[in-house]
Structure 1
Amino acid sequence: MVTLNRIYTRAGDAGTTRLASGAQVSKSDARVETYGAVDETNACLGLARVHTRNAGAFDALLARLQNELFDLGADLATPAATDEAAGTKLRILDSQVARLEGEIDALNAELPALKSFVLPGGTEAAAALHLARTVCRRAEREAVRLTEAGESVSGPAMRYLNRLSDLLFVAARYANDKGAAEVFWVSGGTR
């Protein structure tokens, strides 16, 4: 359990922070940008949950995702060491990715087939979930940039981000009265 008695430390006043490994890096470091976007995704889910608090299992799903995003942030804030023994660090697992796929399939089974692109909007919950989806896609792009720069990001973490954005898309549709309140793109409709 984490205990935080003092919120400010002044340690970051010069524009640096520490990774979970203890390494000091710039606050603009690609790894910090990546887990920062994951944190933003989590905040967006918190906003969505303001509108789903009476939605039973659906809200419980979003609550679990928020907790898993903290796990993902810890994974990303802890660069893998070459001698890291399996299970010694908090890492995203392929079983979590598989669970997301099952949840996507279950929610999607209750939705009508799409015949057009969906515009972000509809209900308050759906709009917040679409926002979470777009921020999650940014987190995924940041993770890709990190790997392209030669930094380590685990395969399960990358897959988790990709599936999570898919789940958030389907969840937004679900929150739009199971598709009944969706707003669709009208191609060339304003010409």
Structure 2
Amino acid sequence: MVVLNKIYTKTGDDGTTALGTGERRPKNDLRIEAYGTVDETNAIVGIVRLHTAGSTADVDAILGRIQNDLFDLGADLATPETDEDLGYEPLRLTDGQVSALEEAIDRLNADLQPLRSFVLPGGSAAAAHLHLARTVSRRAERLMVELQAREKINPCAIRYMNRLSDFFFVASRFLNSKGDGDVLWVPGQNR
């Protein structure tokens, strides 16, 4: 259980932060950058949820679950995989969390018409913010892939982020009146 009695510790004043293993790393370390971008994604989901309360197909409930998963992912990334005994079982994302996203994508996508053009971010406020979440989650995924080239990370973490951006896209279309409110790209329209 996490207990936060004091919010500032001053331990990061030297430009470092502690990982779940106790190891300190610079705040611009790739691992910190990756889980910081996951946290940024989570903050955007919080903004989306201002617009999804009471939405059909339980989109808000799915987003709530995603927010919790993103904290799990942050904990996963904040605890490097090591052969050392940490004295506790590190929290890792699971295939079940990836599967839950896939099921949500399939359920929402079943009600959508096939796309005939690319979709521009826009339509409803929820959809526009979901597009922002999609692009930030893609950035987090790119950072995680780069991190994976340097250090061992949980492969479920990357699969989760890949599916998450897909979920954000499908959910944005679903919340845009099941695609009827999508803003479509018209190639060369302003030439």
SS of structure 2 residue aligned to 1:21 = coil
SS at match of 1:17: strand
Q: CA offsets, 1:25-83, max 9 Å, x none?
A: 00000000000000000000000000011226110110000000000000000001135
- Pairwise CA distance, 1:14: 1.3
Secondary structure in structure 1 of the residue aligned to 2:25: strand
Corresponding residue for residue 24 of structure 2: 24
Partner of 2:51: 51
SS at match of 2:79: coil
Question: Could you say what secondary structure the match of 1:25 adopts?
Answer: strand
Matches within 5 A, 1:25-174: 25-55=25-55, 57-82=58-83, 88-148=89-149, 150-174=150-174
| TM score, norm. by length of structure 2 | 0.95
**2:39 counterpart letter in structure 1:** D
Alignment partners' CA distance in 2, 1:131 and 1:90: 27
Question: What per-residue deviation string (whole Å, max 9, x for no partner) do you get for residues 151-173 of structure 1?
Answer: 11111111001011111110111
2: distance between equivalents of 1:142 and 1:187?
A: 30
Amino acid at match of 1:74: A
Residue 125 of structure 1 aligns to a residue in which SS?
Answer: helix
Aligned partners of 1:117 and 1:91: how far apart in 2?
35
Structure-1 residue corresponding to 2:10: 10
Structure 2: gaps of 5 or more residues: none
Letter in 2 for 1:163: R
* Larger mean Cα displacement after TM superposition, 16-25 or 56-65: 56-65
Whole-angstrom CA distance in 1 between matches of 2:73 and 2:177:
30
Aligned residues: percent identity?
56
Q: Output the TM-score relative to the length of structure 1.
A: 0.95
**Aligned amino acid, residue 24 of structure 2:** Q
Aligned amino acid, residue 125 of structure 1: A
Q: Distance in 1 between matches of 2:107 and 2:63?
A: 15
Number of aligned positions between the proteins: 189
Structure 1 unaligned spans of 5+: none
Q: Runs of at least 4 residues of structure 1 off by over 6 A?
A: none
Q: Which moved more, 1:70-79 or 1:99-108?
A: 99-108
Could you tell me how far apart the structure 2 residues matched to 1:42 and 1:98 are? 19
* In structure 2, distance between residues paired with 1:152 and 1:173: 35
- Once the 2 structures are TM-superposed, how far is the Cα of residue 147 of structure 1 from its aligned partner? 1.3
Q: Give CA-to-partner distance per residue, 1:111-134, whole Å, 9 cap, x none.
A: 111000000111000011110010
